[in-house]
């Protein structure tokens, strides 16, 4: 009967339980002791829970740069590449996805130092460059996979194979949500679902409660959230009868928690029907705010991503725990420039640069940046040598991601790649380390956020992961 | 043992003694430059004080550094370039870079190199002792965990209230309840029981008629009370009536084809059933639905579970496959399809790593499904908790790398097997007669025409060819002249039942050409009788491999490790070759196109063809061959070599324009050949010339000539018989994913699970804790059949327990071991250990592994038939989780059952069984690469298990209701409670559509109250109570008013139906 009892071992009265749950009583899923019970059936599995330690971030916004942006063209300048442009590549080349490796390819973009910190940013990101003092640029990321799908799963779930819970699902499992009317893990779909599909955002073996809810751009953002009845009172009448009949079921079946939870669930669903349209209705945002994000930009992709970024802020304001943005559709092949690097990266950066800067500024202006962790990056980087003549292949050996807000020390550069920007050689950061750091900032010790499945207490960080202390403030 | 220990001690002492011999300046160098470096950059992970020792390597004593970690010595004194330590710090090896986070400076690397070069000086000192953790003790673990002990036939316990039930299962349950001074709940309301039985057994609600009829028979006055009634006689009478009524419902449901559909879905959860391979572009798992239908048929036919297990592990290898009575198809082989239902990657950069991940998934699924054990946990190290060693994992992996994927022509294969045998018989029976007839037909031509043949005809070489075709530099994978006992492996019979021998005839396909030639060298020779084989109207694998006609006509070589740059094939005729490297299959995309190669050949001559594979040196490979079109094909040898091998003797190419003298000599020789042919036998040496004669029959014996007519007449009966056999071959194959056995290969033990870190090969065997380390004798290449036998051996403590527990889980809502996929240490302990054992023993010994019999027995118990209402406060206190089963569990229906019930109630359900899946309906939220076309909103009215399972496009309604993502075994689904579920039932177009279908169907019932009654019976298997009826009628008229319509309006009835779909009674079983 103990269905919300992940946290309790001795039986309480059922009523006491429900009361406790409704008040958000509970503690973190610290151990897996009770994890094998079907706790997901509780109405409150999204209720907020106490973290392990004082959190620096309340929410995460993950700006997912699908396809793998090039580190040496964005945040990791390599003069030697420019110097040796067109010459045979100076290091041993590992096998690549296309094995069509050409010569050294200098970056077509200029780098300039920016801000107080003087962190160099390429001309691909003129707006983000203005916010560089808020960023901790990690130049020594590594991944274990050279293929998009494996690398996407790895980045999202800590495992290269399908079926594991996404980091947003883990965050919800560990902390619950602070908004009773919205899901705790929202994916703002710009139009591109990454290779590996929707499973990048799934809950894996965690209960379905924690799976990412996909919000589409446009008037109908959430599946089934718009009533089909012509008039609201028609649905109200249905729900009124439903309440009566459900009460009859409880009377006949007896007082089962599962039943009452399922009934309570309708109330949440009903509220979502209002909360979601309210969330999407951005008419109240000022013109200045809109301009800052680039809403209404003549570049359609900028406009789309700007709306996503604005929605991300609105979700943060509503206490949604984990928000992921996928890239807008229409820039050729995402950030995946196997050829025509110049054209593709320019399109992609133009789509996201101003909206991201707008988001950072807006969060900061509203005092939300301190409690919101923003993470930018792709599943891997790109080769410093050419694929063919003018593209770059996948490179999991060294690439850049950046973090901002939520307890991150801005204006920091962490780690380094070699002279060519090919492989991380200093302070290497694995995806597991990134996950550990993200969880840490949310107040969770990654070793202790476990779920028993398959005979193991499984973690987002597998058996790895070290918090990147040097970028914390 | 003592001796060994002594040696170790001596070894260490020697090492210690040596150190004192180092010059002082070397020791100073060590102390000043090396030790601080080691301490700062290495000791966090490689010292006695490390929190967690990595790679088994200690670097805090010289002896330890010399000994090395899990792989090999870290330091070879004096030789920096041979020292793993230096390899690691130099960062040249992508898999071994230390320290892992940041490389050492060049100066630091130089210091370490210098130190090693000087002989790794180290002062004499005592090595720090690492507090050793508890080692892996397999026997100790086996003895201390309950599930390793085979189940015992536990005595049925005595109970006080023996009148409650005589069934042993009930006695086990009651005894535990009585021990806690609890009483079982009363019997369930008949309508609730009927609903429970229907959903549990067939996954569909009872029809209104069934519900009414059952309720009449089991009117409450006939229900037994919990305590024995004094009016024993009458009680017994009514009790028997009740029991027989229930039993007849149960029997009817068990016999319903819908039973197999319901339980197949449970099974599909275990084998991560899907119809695409996921990953980036979702290549199909072609024809996977045949596996799903196989499971349905097997469950409906009540195939004994032990046989079902064997078919999964080795259905391709059983001596007598189970034959489908309706189609004559091979059922058993379909079971092996489950191995291939996982993910596959289309262009992995690291092809071997990718294979290891696939093997991991297969072993994971196999061990959880059949054993309820998590063997895959031992991929990187010995199991952390269970008596499963890393060696066990790799011993099992060998069975899989010894087997390959195919699309098996399962409907035709048994007929073809028989025809192939008859073709061989026919050939040997007619061999002499046809050779003699051919000789007669050829003799005049050779005598007279040969010398006048134009020089456009290439003549056979009369030069004795030199060389054997082999040389020490090449390695032979297979030579079909002398194949090993397990080397003859093919899918189908297109290459006959054995390698053809030189001098054997090859049938032609017309009266004019009764023979197409002779076998000139022992080889796998395509039998033209099978030329018309084609897989048509079936799903294909992606890429070139899928375009090739492979099913029923694939020849497979043994495996080898590629040590040369190329494979070379000695072939005659055009051939398609697939070099299966590390079992990589999805050949589409930028990488690995080199694995496929087509070799053209218009001249039908023996030759070596090269398959360049330099990029795969060091990898495991075998070749699979397929014919091209209807061209003849012979494959004699497969070797690996860096340069082209010589052509073997006698197979040398022809000569053109021979001088007259040679031609005359040739004629003499050919006349000798004809004489030999007349004897009815041709030797291997003569065969090439005899073949040449037959190949050139038209020139030497013109069509229409008397000789030609005589030959045709002589060959006619044999040809007719051949044609008759060939006509029985089913040209169009229905195919399904299945396993093809290969050569026996043992997998390496991979240190820390890393493919680039192989230790010794691990002989194939089952788990050591169950069957020791002795390697069984394998009859087939892989040995899977023997493995399967071990799995179902009653001495194996897991197989019977696991399945009995799964059945219990589905019927009672929680397994006797709640963690149904894990009976190991991290699983939950059984609530009723004795009952579990009783059932496991009973299932094997008395029920002969019959799943239906087990289900029947369980649902006829009092325990199953209890009410679920928690109305005993004391029991709720003492047994809050209902672990003792003091009442039935309330259960929510699975997503599939909910959707099926909607269709059944609305009247839209199409009861068709099996067949290709209905494409999933795509909502605007389902996007991504490999997006298919959308299927119909109502899934064509088919049951949910017929909706296509595309890994990246799973149906949202099913996901919301906890259908597992198909990536590994999921014997127990989550039961979550999420707003998406409510939103679906409230607003999803499918649900709304079905309410309209339902309302339309009800139009024929004119009286509103009767309509409500019909709706309640359909949805809840009971009539409405009076207040419910009034509520419904009031709702209908109010809703009509809101619409400005009347209560005759179908829309308002759809609205009422919509409410009923949302009532919890619709999706919960009490």
- Over range B154-175, report the average pLDDT: 96
Sort strands B736-741 and B524-525 into parallel, antiparallel or unpaired: unpaired
Measured in angstroms, the CA of B72 and the nearest CA of chain A are apart by: 24
CB contact under 8 A, B374 and A454: yes
Give the model's confidence band at B413: pLDDT under 50 very low, under 70 low, under 90 confident, else very high. Answer: very high
CB contact under 8 A, A454 and B827: no
Q: Minimum mean pLDDT among B12-26, B396-410, B941-955, B1020-1034: which range?
A: B12-26
8 Å CB contact between B801 and B952: no
β-bridge partners, A459 = A450
With a cut of 70, say whether residue B845 has pLDDT above it.
Answer: yes
Burial class (CB in 10 A: 0-12, 13-18, 19+), B801: buried
Q: Is the CB of residue B614 less than 8 Å away from at least one CB of chain A?
A: no
Burial class (CB in 10 A: 0-12, 13-18, 19+), B677: buried
Which residues of chain A make contact with B986, given a CB cutoff of 8 A?
A: 224, 227, 235, 266, 269
Distance between CA atoms of B453 and A359, rounded to whole angstroms? 89
Q: Is the CB of residue B962 less than 8 Å away from at least one CB of chain A?
A: yes
8 Å CB contact between A171 and A160: no
| Other beta carbons within 10 Å of B326 | 7
With a cut of 70, say whether residue B454 has pLDDT above it.
Answer: no
Looking at residue B7, its pLDDT comes to: 36
Distance between CA atoms of B487 and B502, rounded to whole angstroms? 19
- Helix axes B660-678 and B687-695, enclosed angle (nearest 10): 100
With a cut of 50, say whether residue B17 has pLDDT above it.
Answer: no
With a cut of 90, say whether residue A139 has pLDDT above it.
Answer: yes
Q: Kindly list the distances between the CA atom of residue A356 and the CA atoms of A125, A341, A362, B1059, in Å, as whole numbers in the listed order.
A: 10, 21, 10, 45
Structure tokens at B234: 């009458």
With a cut of 60, say whether residue B233 has pLDDT above it.
Answer: no
**Range of B1-10, B476-485, B566-575 with top mean pLDDT:** B566-575
| Phi, psi torsion values for B803, nearest 5 degrees | -75, -40
Looking at residue A94, its pLDDT comes to: 92
With a cut of 80, say whether residue A288 has pLDDT above it.
Answer: yes
CA geometry: angle at A196 spanning B402 and A209, to 5°?
110
- Over range B567-584, report the average pLDDT: 97
8 Å CB contact between B119 and B78: yes
CB contact under 8 A, B924 and A220: yes
Per DSSP (E only), the strands in B198-346 are none
Looking at residue B133, its pLDDT comes to: 53
Among B368, B826, B952, beta carbon nearest to A456: B826
Dihedral of the CA atoms B803, B809, B815, B820 (nearest 10)?
Answer: 50
Distance between CA atoms of B542 and B97, rounded to whole angstroms? 38
Nearest Cα residue to A432 out of B100, B768, B576: B100
Task: Report H helices in B301-349.
Answer: 305-314
CB contact under 8 A, B977 and A2: no
Q: What is the model's pTM?
A: 0.89
Burial class (CB in 10 A: 0-12, 13-18, 19+), B1016: buried
Distance between CA atoms of B976 and A262, rounded to whole angstroms? 9
Task: Report H helices in B20-147.
Answer: 24-29, 35-41, 62-67, 84-89, 106-117, 138-144
A179 SS3 class: coil
Looking at residue B225, its pLDDT comes to: 47
With a cut of 70, say whether residue A313 has pLDDT above it.
Answer: yes
Mutate to test the interface with B, among A14, A139, A197 (most CBs of B within 10 A): A197
Looking at residue B473, its pLDDT comes to: 67
Question: Between B217 and A327, whose confidence is greater?
Answer: A327
Question: Per-residue b/e over A155-170, b at no fewer than 16 CB within 10 Å?
Answer: bbbbbbbbbbbbbbbb
Measured in angstroms, the CA of A366 and the nearest CA of chain B are apart by: 31
- Over range B781-790, report the average pLDDT: 96
Distance between CA atoms of B1053 and B660, rounded to whole angstroms? 100
Among A194, A237, A262, beta carbon nearest to B1035: A237
State the count of interchain CB pairs (< 8 A) between A and B.
286
- Closest-CA residue of B relative to A245 is B1063
Among B349, B925, B1031, beta carbon nearest to A95: B349
Dihedral of the CA atoms B355, B357, B362, B363 (nearest 10)?
Answer: 110
CB contact under 8 A, B591 and A97: yes
Distance between CA atoms of A39 and A261, rounded to whole angstroms? 11
CB contact under 8 A, B987 and A225: yes
Looking at residue A332, its pLDDT comes to: 65
Nearest Cα residue to B984 out of B950, B956, B964: B956
- Over range B353-372, report the average pLDDT: 97
B274-323 pLDDT, tens digit per residue, is: 999 998 889 999 999 999 999 999 999 999 999 999 999 999 999 999 99
Among B101, B376, B386, beta carbon nearest to A427: B101
B172-210 pLDDT, tens digit per residue, is: 999 999 999 999 999 999 999 999 999 999 999 999 999
With a cut of 60, say whether residue A7 has pLDDT above it.
Answer: no
Q: Minimum mean pLDDT among A151-165, B501-515, B897-911: which range?
A: B501-515
- Over range B579-590, report the average pLDDT: 94
A233 SS3 class: helix
- Over range A332-356, report the average pLDDT: 93
Secondary-structure breakdown of chain B: helix, strand, coil percentages, each rounded to the nearest 5: 45, 10, 45
8 Å CB contact between A213 and A183: yes
Looking at residue B221, its pLDDT comes to: 55
- Mean pLDDT, chain A, whole residue set: 88
Q: Kindly list the distances between the CA atom of residue B282 and the CA atoms of A193, B278, B678, B959, in Å, as whole numbers in the listed order.
A: 14, 4, 60, 18
CB contact under 8 A, B1055 and A397: no
Q: Is the dihedral of CA A154, A155, A156, A157 positive or negative?
A: positive
Please identify among residues 30-69 of chain A the ones whose CB lies closer than 8 Å to any CB of chain B: 36, 38, 40-43, 45
Please identify among residues 785-844 of chain B the ones whose CB lies closer than 8 Å to any CB of chain A: 818-819, 821-822, 824, 826-828
Question: Between A316 and B228, whose confidence is greater?
Answer: A316
Mutate to test the interface with A, among B278, B387, B978 (most CBs of A within 10 A): B978
Give the model's confidence band at A214: pLDDT under 50 very low, under 70 low, under 90 confident, else very high. Answer: confident
CB contact under 8 A, B982 and A269: yes
CA geometry: angle at B530 spanning B549 and B584, to 5°?
30
What does DSSP assign to residue A191? B
B695-744 pLDDT, tens digit per residue, is: 888 888 888 888 889 999 999 999 999 989 999 999 888 999 999 999 89
Looking at residue A13, its pLDDT comes to: 35
Which residues of chain A make contact with B925, given a CB cutoff of 8 A?
A: 214, 216, 223
Q: Minimum mean pLDDT among A464-468, B139-143, B467-471: which range?
A: B467-471
Distance between CA atoms of A435 and A462, rounded to whole angstroms? 10
8 Å CB contact between B969 and B270: yes
CB contact under 8 A, A455 and B974: no
Q: Is the CB of residue B321 less than 8 Å away from at least one CB of chain A?
A: no
CB contact under 8 A, A254 and B870: yes
- Helix axes B190-202 and B208-217, enclosed angle (nearest 10): 130
Burial class (CB in 10 A: 0-12, 13-18, 19+), B385: middle
Q: Kindly list the distances between the CA atom of residue B497 and the CA atoms of B427, B432, B484, B555, B785, in Å, as whole numbers in the listed order.
A: 12, 20, 15, 11, 21
With a cut of 80, say whether residue B757 has pLDDT above it.
Answer: yes
Distance between CA atoms of B516 and A238, rounded to whole angstroms? 79
Which residues of chain B make contact with A262, given a CB cutoff of 8 A?
A: 892, 977, 981-982, 1064, 1067-1068
Which residues of chain A make contact with B1038, given a CB cutoff of 8 A?
A: 237
Residue entry with tokens 């080769």: A383
- Over range B949-953, report the average pLDDT: 95
Question: Between A388 and B458, whose confidence is greater?
Answer: A388
8 Å CB contact between B636 and B519: no
Q: Is the CB of residue A378 less than 8 Å away from at least one CB of chain B?
A: no
Looking at residue B132, its pLDDT comes to: 54
A21-70 pLDDT, tens digit per residue, is: 322 222 233 222 233 333 333 445 667 778 888 999 999 999 999 999 99
CB contact under 8 A, A234 and B374: no
Residue entry with tokens 């409405």: B1024
Peptide bond just before B99 cis, omega within 30 deg: yes
Which residues of chain A make contact with B966, given a CB cutoff of 8 A?
A: 163
């Amino acid at each position: 009967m103990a269905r919300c009892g992940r946290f309790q071992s001795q039986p309480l009265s059922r009523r006491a339980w429900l009361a406790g749950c409704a008040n958000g009583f509970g503690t973190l899923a610290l151990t897996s002791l009770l994890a094998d019970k079907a706790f997901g059936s509780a109405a409150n599995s999204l209720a907020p829970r106490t973290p392990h330690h004082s959190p620096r971030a309340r929410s995460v916004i993950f700006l997912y740069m699908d396809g793998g942006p090039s580190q040496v063209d964005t945040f990791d300048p390599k003069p030697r590449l420019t110097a040796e442009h067109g010459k045979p590549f100076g290091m041993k080349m590992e096998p690549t996805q296309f094995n069509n490796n050409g010569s050294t390819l200098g970056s077509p973009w200029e780098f300039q130092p920016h801000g107080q910190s003087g962190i160099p940013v390429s001309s691909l990101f003129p707006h983000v460059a203005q916010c560089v003092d808020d960023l901790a640029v990690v130049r020594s990321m590594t991944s274990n996979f050279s293929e998009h799908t494996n690398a996407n799963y790895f980045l999202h779930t800590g495992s290269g194979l399908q079926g594991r819970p996404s980091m947003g699902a883990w965050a919800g499992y560990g902390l619950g949500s602070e908004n009773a009317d919205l899901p705790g893990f929202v994916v703002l779909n710009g139009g591109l679902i990454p290779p590996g599909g929707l499973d990048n955002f799934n809950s894996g073996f965690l209960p379905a409660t924690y799976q990412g809810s996909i919000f589409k751009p446009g008037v109908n953002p959430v599946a089934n959230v718009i009533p089909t009845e012509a008039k609201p009172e028609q649905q109200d009448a249905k729900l009124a009868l439903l309440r009566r009949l459900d009460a009859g079921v409880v009377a006949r079946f007896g007082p089962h928690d599962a039943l009452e939870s399922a009934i309570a669930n309708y109330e949440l669903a009903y509220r979502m029907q209002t909360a979601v349209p309210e969330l999407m209705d951005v008419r109240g945002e000022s013109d200045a705010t809109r301009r800052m994000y680039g809403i209404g930009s003549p570049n359609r992709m900028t406009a789309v991503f700007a709306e996503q970024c604005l929605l991300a802020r609105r979700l943060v304001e509503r206490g949604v725990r984990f928000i992921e943005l996928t890239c807008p559709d229409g820039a050729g092949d995402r950030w995946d420039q196997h050829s025509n690097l110049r054209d593709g990266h320019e399109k992609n950066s133009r789509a996201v640069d101003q909206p991201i800067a707008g988001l950072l500024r807006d969060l900061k202006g509203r005092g939300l940046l301190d409690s919101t962790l923003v993470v930018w990056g792709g599943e891997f980087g790109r080769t410093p040598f050419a694929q063919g003549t003018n593209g770059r292949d996948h490179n999991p050996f060294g690439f850049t991601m950046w973090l901002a807000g939520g307890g991150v020390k801005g204006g920091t550069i962490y780690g380094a790649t070699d002279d060519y920007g090919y492989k991380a050689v200093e302070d290497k950061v694995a995806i597991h380390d990134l996950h550990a750091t993200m969880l840490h900032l949310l107040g969770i010790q990654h070793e202790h956020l476990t779920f028993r499945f398959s005979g193991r207490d499984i973690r987002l960080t597998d058996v790895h992961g070290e918090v990147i202390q040097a970028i914390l403030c | 043992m003592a001796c060994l220990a002594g040696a170790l001690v001596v070894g260490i002492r020697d090492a210690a003694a040596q150190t004192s011999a180092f010059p002082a300046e070397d020791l100073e160098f060590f102390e000043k430059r090396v030790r601080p470096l080691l301490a700062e950059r290495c000791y966090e992970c490689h010292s006695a004080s490390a929190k967690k020792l990595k790679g088994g390597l200690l670097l805090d004593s010289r002896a330890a550094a010399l000994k090395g970690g899990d792989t090999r010595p870290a330091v070879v004194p004096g030789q920096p370039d041979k020292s793993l330590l230096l390899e690691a710090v130099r960062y040249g090896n992508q898999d071994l870079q230390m320290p892992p986070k940041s490389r050492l400076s060049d100066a630091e690397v130089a210091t370490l190199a210098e130190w090693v070069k000087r002989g790794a000086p180290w002062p004499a000192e005592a090595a720090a002792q690492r507090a050793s953790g508890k080692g892996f003790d397999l026997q100790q673990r086996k003895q201390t965990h309950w599930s390793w002990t085979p189940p015992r036939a536990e005595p049925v316990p005595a109970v006080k209230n023996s009148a409650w039930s005589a069934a042993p299962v009930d006695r086990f349950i009651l005894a535990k309840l009585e021990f806690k001074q609890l009483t079982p709940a009363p019997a369930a309301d008949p309508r609730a029981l009927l609903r429970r039985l229907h959903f549990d057994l067939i996954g569909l609600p009872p029809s209104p008629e069934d519900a009414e009829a059952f309720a009449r028979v089991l009117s409450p006055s006939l229900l037994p009370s919990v305590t024995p009634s004094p009016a024993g006689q009458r009680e017994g009478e009514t009790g028997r009536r009740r029991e027989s009524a229930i039993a007849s419902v149960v029997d009817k449901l068990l016999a319903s084809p819908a039973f197999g559909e319901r339980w197949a879905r449970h099974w599909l959860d275990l084998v991560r059933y899907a119809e695409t391979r996921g990953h980036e572009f979702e290549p199909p798992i072609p024809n996977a639905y045949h596996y799903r239908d196989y499971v349905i048929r097997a469950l409906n036919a009540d195939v004994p579970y032990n046989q079902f297990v064997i078919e999964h592990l080795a259905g391709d290898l059983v001596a007598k496959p189970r034959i489908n009575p309706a189609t004559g198809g091979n059922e058993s082989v379909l079971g092996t399809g489950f191995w291939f239902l996982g993910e596959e990657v289309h262009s992995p950069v690291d092809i071997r790593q990718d294979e290891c991940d696939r093997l991991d998934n297969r072993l994971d699924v196999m061990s959880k499904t059949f054993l309820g054990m998590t063997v895959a946990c031992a991929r990187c190290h010995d199991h952390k908790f269970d008596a499963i060693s890393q060696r066990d994992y790799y011993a099992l992996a060998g069975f899989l790398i010894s087997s390959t994927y195919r699309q098996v022509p399962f409907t035709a294969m048994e007929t073809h097997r028989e025809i192939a045998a008859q073709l061989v018989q026919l050939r040997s029976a007619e061999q002499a007669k046809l050779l003699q007839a051919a000789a007669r037909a050829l003799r005049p031509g050779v005598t007279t025409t040969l010398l006048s043949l134009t020089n456009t005809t290439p003549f056979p070489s009369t030069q004795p060819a030199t060389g054997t075709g082999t040389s020490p530099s090449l390695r032979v994978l297979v030579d079909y002249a002398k194949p090993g006992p397990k080397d003859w492996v093919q899918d189908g019979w297109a290459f006959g039942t054995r390698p053809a021998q030189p001098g054997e005839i090859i049938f032609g396909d017309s009266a004019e050409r009764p023979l197409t030639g002779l076998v000139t060298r022992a080889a796998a020779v395509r039998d033209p009788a099978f030329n018309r084989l084609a897989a048509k109207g079936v799903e294909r694998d992606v890429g070139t491999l899928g375009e090739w006609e492979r099913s029923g006509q694939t020849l497979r070589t043994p495996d080898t490790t590629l040590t040369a740059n190329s494979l070379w094939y000695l072939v005659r005729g055009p051939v398609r070759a697939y070099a299966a490297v590390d079992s990589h299959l999805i050949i589409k995309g930028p990488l690995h196109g080199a694995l496929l190669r087509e070799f053209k050949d218009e001249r039908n001559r023996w030759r070596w063809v090269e398959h360049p594979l330099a990029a795969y040196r060091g990898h495991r490979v075998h070749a699979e061959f397929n014919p091209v079109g209807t061209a003849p094909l012979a494959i004699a040898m497969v070797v690996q070599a860096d340069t082209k091998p010589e052509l073997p003797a006698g197979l040398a190419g022809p000569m053109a324009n021979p001088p007259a003298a040679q031609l005359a000599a040739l004629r003499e020789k050919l006349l000798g050949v004809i004489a030999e042919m007349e004897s009815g036998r041709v030797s291997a040496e003569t065969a090439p010339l005899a073949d040449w004669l037959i190949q050139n029959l038209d020139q030497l014996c013109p069509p229409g000539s008397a000789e030609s007519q005589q030959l045709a007449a002589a060959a006619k009966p044999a040809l007719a018989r051949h044609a008759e056999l060939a006509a029985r071959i089913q040209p169009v194959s229905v195919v399904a994913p299945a396993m093809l056995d290969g050569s026996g290969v043992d997998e390496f033990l991979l240190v820390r699970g890393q493919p680039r870190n192989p230790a010794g090969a691990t002989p194939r065997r089952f788990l050591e804790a169950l069957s020791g380390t002795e390697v069984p004798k394998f009859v087939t290449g892989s040995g899977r059949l023997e493995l399967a036998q071990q799995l179902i051996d009653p001495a194996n403590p897991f197989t019977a327990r696991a399945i009995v527990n799964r059945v219990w889980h589905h019927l009672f809502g929680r397994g006797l071991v709640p963690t149904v996929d894990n009976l190991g240490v991290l699983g939950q302990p059984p609530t009723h250990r004795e009952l579990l054992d009783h059932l496991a023993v009973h299932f094997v010994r008395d029920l002969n592994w019959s799943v239906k019999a087990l289900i029947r027995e369980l649902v006829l118990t009092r325990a199953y038939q209890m009410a679920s209402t928690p109305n005993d406060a004391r029991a709720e206190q003492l047994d809050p989780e209902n672990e003792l089963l003091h009442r039935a569990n309330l259960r929510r229906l699975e997503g599939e059952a909910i959707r099926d019930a909607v269709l059944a109630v609305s009247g839209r359900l199409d009861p068709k069984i099996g067949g290709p899946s209905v494409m999933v309906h795509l909502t605007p939220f389902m996007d991504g690469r490999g997006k298919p076309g959308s299927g119909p909103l109502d899934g064509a009215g088919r049951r949910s298990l017929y909706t296509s399972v595309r890994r990246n496009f799973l149906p949202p309604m099913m996901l919301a209701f906890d259908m597992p993502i198909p990536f590994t075994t999921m014997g127990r689904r989550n039961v979550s409670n999420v707003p998406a579920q409510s939103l679906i039932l409230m607003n999803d177009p499918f649900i709304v559509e079905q309410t309209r279908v339902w309302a339309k169907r009800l139009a024929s019932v004119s009286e509103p109250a009767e309509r409500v009654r019909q709706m309640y019976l359909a949805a809840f298997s009971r009539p409405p109570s009076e207040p419910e009826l009034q509520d419904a009628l009031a709702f209908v008229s109010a809703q009509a008013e809101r619409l400005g319509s009347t209560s005759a309006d179908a829309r308002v009835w759809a609205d009422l139906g919509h409410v009923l779909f949302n009532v919890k009674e619709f999706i919960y079983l009490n």
